[in-house]
Structure formats: structure tokens, C-alpha cells
Amino acid sequence: MRPAILQTPAAIDRELGRRLTAAHRRARRRGRPVLASATVSLPADSDPTALAVAARVAGEPWFCLEQPDRDRSAIAALGVLVELTADGAGRFSSLARRWREIVAEAEAEPVDGPPGSGLIALGGFAHADDGGSSPRWDGFPAASLHVPELSIARQGEDTRVTVNVLVAPDDTLEDLQARVGQRLQSLRPAPLPMLDPAPTGQYRVTSPMPPSHYEEAVRRGVERIRAGELEKLVLAREVQVEAPRDHDAAAVIGVLRDAYSSCYVFAVGRGDSTFIAASPELLIRRQGQRASTVALAGSTRRSADPAVDDHLGEQLRLNEKEREENAIVARRIATALKPHSVWVTVAAEPEVVKVANIQHLARPIRAQLAKPFDAVELAGLLHPTPAVGGEPDAVSARMIPALEGLDRGWYAGTIGWTDATGDGEFCVALRCALLRGSLAHLYAGCGIVRDSDPAAELAETEVKLGALLPLLAG
């Protein structure tokens, strides 16, 4: 067995002892448990995701979210001390309020470390207010944030581990320190598992709905847009992969973060299922009174020939249909942020963003908030943007399930974290798959406007499915 990354509990005795002692006094005084949180440094070469995967107990909730190209940004977490869930139209504000109540009662202090260090809550929100209804989405409610037992945050060479514990009035400090020490000692350096380069057995790839169903949905959507019912509509399709053995989410994440290092690579494990993705899209990032996001809409393929690739990108930048799609998203985001901001800036022109297998039009958007508005509330303010829903939202929300015929669940929802100050970051759940045993459900969608062509939109979904399908289909 590899040695623990924290060689001795003495490395955290002072910080942990101080927190536990204060929490124990408060718990005894109030007659109810108190959440205590302590944070210490880890070696600079620590890999948060790999540490979490190696320390995970079977069936235990786990979480990772990385964007390697952004100064090695990574957050990983294990276990759950407190689970916050909600559904309905007020689910974002409900969880934001309950998180503030937890923070106010906790024995914790802000940590001057990487984003996501210290006491945090992390998880996700489904696309629809009532969440996924099919059994495949069991464990993934309409809104779900976990306060983990242990979390690890990294940026650059700075890595911190935070351990959280519920301190009951009848606990002893010795037992608490032993429990926390045991958890920290489970952190052992180990690489992520490798994806089998030459898998054996038969892989079966199927579409619950035939491709012609998607083309017909696009045709009907275009008719509604031309009739003036709405400006834009995002329609998705699903592909399933049945493997000869269980899919290995940790191995897939290892490949995704290498291949899509500019994207948000995440995994949310609940029970025997894992929701994974390499998403190019930020929903919201809050840092103090600053908020930033991006209007990401409009896509084309990549080419191995650099000259052809650049030509495709320039064609995308000048394409009126793609520019219209991007402008609709940017307008909605700016309109949502303005009532809560001193100022909002939107890039005058979209830029071309290239990821491994696709190019997008992106328009950065920044805002200076007029008053405290935490990351979860901001996510609720923006979700769903027209990049995953439509414009206007009230019309598209009814039309999408009728035309798609699938249960989106957390696909096109939002995944991320928030800390004790209200800062945080949430990405849009795109280019994703839900893994449960040997079955994988993959999702991809396209923005539909008045000039959309059904065959071209179907081809674009194939490009987007290409992020995960080759990894899961052997």
C-alpha cells in the first residue's frame, strides 16, 4: 500500500484541534451538532481527482471538476455530511438560502487558498425545475448540493485539503480527532486508472429515437420559429452504449482532462452512477462583486490541416446563422444580469474558441454586481440560457420535451461549487454521459434558428457526441 500523502496527523493537529474544540463547546452549549471545518496544505504535485478516486469507498458520493488549462484549476470531494435538495421554480434560491444558514452556524473561517478551498458545497442542478423523472436519474435530484466530508482544491502549485465533521454534544475530542485523522490518512498518491486501449467484447451503440426523429424535431422547431412563436430552440438527442463490462468513470475522466484541457471536465458520482462531461461552457463565476460568464453558441467542426481548420473557424465567425444564435444568448444573459449590476460588458464581436473536436463562437460577458448575490443565486438567474434552452424561455421550456421525446435529467443543467463567502463557479453540463454499470447514456444538442437545416444539425450532434462516444464504445 502506498504511504499516505499526509504522513502524520501531527500535520493538522493544531488547526484541527482548535476547530474541533470550539465546535464541541458550541455543540454542548446548544445541544445540537455543529459543523467544523479545517484546511491544511498538500504537496504541490498533488492530483485532487486521483486522490479522491483512490480514497473513495464503494458507493460513496464523489465529485471532481477540473479545467487544466486555467492554471491547473481542480476541485475534488468525497462523502457527504449534509445534503441540500430542492425542486420547483425556487430551487436555486432555496439552496442558496439553506447554504447561508449552514455557513452561519459552522465553525469555519475563509481560507486564503485556491478557489474552492475551505468549507464548500458542490453538486448540480437538472435542466428542468422538476428534474429527471426516469429511473436512470435516481440520485440526481432537480437540485442537489453536498457538503462533503473531504475536499481538495488546487490552483497552480497551491493545493489544500479541507476536512469537515459534524461535532455532536456527546462526542469526545479524542474520537473526533481519530475519525478525521483516519479519513485524511486515506489520501494516498496513486494515478488514475488507465482506459483499456484494446478492449475485448462486443459494444452495442443504439439510439432510443432514430436519427430521422431528430431531423423531424428540427424541422418542426424551424416551423415554429418562422411562425414567430420563438427566436431560438435547443434540441438534443441521446445515444446509448452498452459495454461488455462496467464503464470506468475514473479512467474516462483521465482521458478527457488530457484531451479537453481547456474544458470543464467533471464527474459527479452518486451511488452506482456517475455523470461525466467535458463541457466548453461556463455558466457563471463569482469572485467577490465580480461576475463573469460567456455566451457560447454557434459551432463547426475541426480539421487536422491547420489551414483548413483556420478557414472553418473564419467561416464560422462570419456565418450569419451562427452569429444570430450567439447574439440571442448574449442578449439574454446581459438582460438577466443588468438589474443586479453596476455595469455589464459584452464583447462587441464573438471570438472563435477551439477545443479538441469542435469550434465555437464565444462572447465573454462580465459584470460588477451592485450588491451581494452569491454564485448559486446567479446560476439560478441565468439558467437555462438560450444556449441550452431557447428564447423566450417560457415557450421553449414547453416545446423542448414535446419535440425531443427524452428525459434530459442533469444534461444541459449546471454543475459546480460555492464557498462560505458566496463565491463559486458553475459550468453548463454539455458533452456529457450518465454511466450506470455497463450502460452509458450520451447526450448532445444544437441550437435551432430560422435558417437551421435538419441534416446539418444532425451532423453537428455527431461531432459533439464525438467527445465521449469513442471512449465509451471501445
The answer to whether the beta carbons of residues 12 and 42 sit under 8 Å apart is: no
Q: Is residue 295 part of a domain?
A: yes
Q: Single out the residue of 77, 414, 73 nearest to residue 269, CA to CA.
A: 77
For residue 244, the enclosing domain spans: 204-250+281-411+433-472
- Give kind and range of the element (H or E) at residue 85: strand 82-86
The answer to whether the beta carbons of residues 298 and 350 sit under 8 Å apart is: yes
Q: Is residue 189 part of a domain?
A: no
Q: What is the average per-residue pLDDT within 385-414?
A: 94
Q: Tell me, what's the pLDDT at 15?
A: 74
Cα torsion for 89, 91, 94, 99, to the nearest 10°? Answer: -160
The answer to whether the beta carbons of residues 105 and 396 sit under 8 Å apart is: no
Q: Is residue 184 part of a domain?
A: no
Q: Single out the residue of 245, 205, 261, 266 nearest to residue 462, CA to CA.
A: 205
pLDDT digits 0-9 by tens, 48-102:
999 999 999 988 999 999 999 999 999 999 999 999 999 999 999 999 999 999 9
Give the count of domains, the chain.
1
Q: Tell me, what's the pLDDT at 13?
A: 65
* Domain CATH for 354: 3.60.120.10
Q: Is residue 60 part of a domain?
A: no
Q: Tell me, what's the pLDDT at 209?
A: 93
With bands split at pLDDT 50, 70 and 90, how would you rate the model's confidence at 411?
A: very high
Q: Which residue has the cell 488547526?
A: 15
Q: Give the Cα separation of 8 and 429 in Å (integer).
A: 39
Task: Provide the 8-state DSSP code for 86.
Answer: E
String of b and e for 116-133 (b: at least 16 CB within 10 Å)? bbbbbbbbbbbbbbebbe
Q: Is residue 448 part of a domain?
A: yes
Long-range pairs for 27-32: beta carbons < 8 A, 24 or more residues apart = 27/167, 27/168, 27/169, 27/171, 28/169, 30/169, 31/169, 32/169
Q: Which residue has the cell 450518465?
A: 434
The grid coordinates of residue 277 equal 462531461
Q: Tell me, what's the pLDDT at 2?
A: 57
The answer to whether the beta carbons of residues 299 and 358 sit under 8 Å apart is: yes
Q: Tell me, what's the pLDDT at 11?
A: 52
My answer on whether omega of the bond before 306 falls inside 30° of 0, hence cis, is no
Average per-residue pLDDT for the chain? 93
More confident position, 343 or 175: 343
String of b and e for 183-194 (b: at least 16 CB within 10 Å)? bbbbbebeebbe
Q: What is the largest distance, in Å, between two alpha-carbon atoms of the chain?
A: 70
Q: Is the pLDDT of residue 9 over 60?
A: no
Q: Is the pLDDT of residue 12 over 80?
A: no
Strands (DSSP E) contained in 302-448 are 341-346, 351-354, 358-369, 390-391, 414-419, 424-428, 432-436, 439-448
Q: Is residue 191 part of a domain?
A: no
Task: Provide the 8-state DSSP code for 171.
Answer: -
Amino acid at residue number 121? A
Q: Tell me, what's the pLDDT at 6?
A: 58
Q: Is the pLDDT of residue 1 over 70?
A: no
Q: Tell me, what's the pLDDT at 178?
A: 85
pLDDT digits 0-9 by tens, 424-471:
999 999 999 999 999 999 999 999 999 999 999 999 999 999 989 999
Q: Tell me, what's the pLDDT at 63?
A: 98
pLDDT digits 0-9 by tens, 270-321:
999 999 999 999 999 999 999 999 999 889 999 999 999 999 999 999 999 8
Q: What is the average per-residue pLDDT within 121-148?
A: 96
Q: Catalytic site residues?
A: 232, 281
CA 437 to the chain's CA centroid? 21
Q: Is the pLDDT of residue 8 over 50?
A: no
My answer on whether omega of the bond before 384 falls inside 30° of 0, hence cis, is yes
The grid coordinates of residue 60 equal 460513496
Taking CA atoms, 207 is separated from 65, 239, 411, in Å, by 28, 5, 16
First to last CA, the chain: 31
Q: Is residue 23 part of a domain?
A: no
Q: Is residue 300 part of a domain?
A: yes
Q: Is the pLDDT of residue 43 over 50?
A: yes
Q: Is the pLDDT of residue 251 over 90?
A: yes
